Amino acid sequence: MKLFPENFWWGSATSAPQSEGASLQDGKSPSIWDHWFKTEPNRFHNNVGCADASTFYDNWKDDIALMKQLGHNSFRTSISWSRLIPNGTGEVNPKAIDFYNNVINELIAHEIEPFINLFHFDMPMCMQDKGGWESREVVEAYAVYAKTCFELFGDRVKHWFTFNEPIVPVEGGYLYDFHYPNIVDFKRAATVAHNTLIAHSKAVIAYRELKFDGKIGIILNLTPSYPRSQNPADLKASEIADWFFNRSFLDPVTKGQYPTGLVELLTEHKQLPETVEGDSTILKQGIVDLLGVNFYAPRRAQAPKYARHADAIFMPELFFDDYVMPNRKMNPHRGWEIYEKGIYDIAKIIQNEYDNIEWFIAENGMGVEGEEKFNIDGQIQDDYRIEFVKDHLTWLHKAIEEGANCRGYHLWTFIDCWSWANSYKNRYGWIALDLKTQKRTIKKSGEWIAQVSKYNGFE
């Protein structure tokens, strides 16, 4: 048996916009996702928005019972800012308070520890109208929203997270046009990233001032950067990719400062974000107690094949090219490389370069398009997902045996959920969701993870 440490967190993760549904009910205001779908539904797979999502808003009680059946002792979701404070600031929505209280209390009643995240890509549209994360007014509003959440739920919630994958709104909304507001401008992207980190720090400061006995952290998607070769040009390309996509957030939240190399690079190209006096002090106060790590696939980089054109738009890809490794292992249903050892490499980086901070796998998972073809006698026979998770856990177990301070593993996700512009194209859950009937059915992998959780390990 590969046994895991005592009190290891077994569970799953989701978010408010991807699971709740009821996106404009009971006083909730539109988020950027409601607005974008209303204005450009064709940008979404099969023209499906988040209005209904996976109906957790209506089915939370039964869904939490299913979590218990899967052996969960922990579960991560998020609070919707636009549900709790519909105007972004000011009056709090009493129906939202009731809903989140019910969810938190029900989880605790089933001995499932609530892990609560404050922001999962879902900026209230009224705050986006003020400039979103480019606006310091919005940063201050977020800090008040965070404090409100702590005051309402902090007596029971002991694990808080300020943001999930904060680099994704930067990439999607301000660099690569796959999230609203669909801007392509690196300097504005850098300002969004910086202001997000200031917002994070202000939330951390607020939490610690309230003197709750829990922990506060952040969840980062880390994609280990592997060079094509040991040639110095490939090594440098990989290092720069790592600065942009990993350490740009990892260093500030664990060390209180940006990577020196990244700062020098952005200074050279006049791409530093807009800052305010005192920001460096605020940044230093945002060092986390606990780090969540999302890992899906590696990043492979090589030196750029062509010289940069003088008039080229500044982008990270000016400094590296993606490298497609021959004979790599693939998820044929999703198009992503599978590299299980990456989870071990992340663990060793955190152990050796980041003071072995307490952390956990906050997301890992295998998306499958057309998963219904694996339905046999009413159940999804997802042996491929069992193999995927088992292989990743094997490498994680090795890292823990070598001293990595990893406390848990959460799969993305509990139940097949709506996934941004991809809608329901790819399925990730332990539990299958029938979109027409909303019927929930435990997959073969769900039965397997229940046994893993029961015995705190596997053969």
User: Residue 339 and residue 330: Cα distance in Å, rounded?
Assistant: 8
Active-site residue flag, 165: yes
**Would you list the DSSP string of 238-271?**
HHHHHIIIIIHHHHHHHHSS--HHHHHHHHHTT-
The answer to whether the beta carbons of residues 258 and 252 sit under 8 Å apart is yes
Amino acid at 373: K
Taking every pair of Cα atoms in the chain, the longest distance, rounded to a whole number of angstroms, is 63
User: Residue 226 and residue 76: Cα distance in Å, rounded?
Assistant: 30
CA distances from 15 to 57, 77, 78, 79, 289 (A): 12, 5, 5, 8, 21
Active-site residue flag, 363: yes
Catalytic residue, candidates 20, 165, 171, 340: 165
The answer to whether the beta carbons of residues 288 and 218 sit under 8 Å apart is yes
CA distances from 361 to 50, 385, 411 (A): 26, 16, 8
The answer to whether the beta carbons of residues 50 and 418 sit under 8 Å apart is yes
The answer to whether the beta carbons of residues 383 and 391 sit under 8 Å apart is no
Q: How many CB atoms lie within 10 A of CB 215?
A: 15
To which residue do tokens 């990989």 refer? 238
User: Residue 24 and residue 89: Cα distance in Å, rounded?
Assistant: 18
Which pairs with CB-CB distance under 8 Å and at least 24 residues apart come from 433-438? 433/54, 438/54, 438/55, 438/59
CA distances from 53 to 27, 200, 419 (A): 17, 27, 9
Helix axes 260-268 and 232-242, enclosed angle (nearest 10): 100
SS3 111: coil
Catalytic residue, candidates 20, 106, 239, 363: 363
Catalytic residues: 165, 363
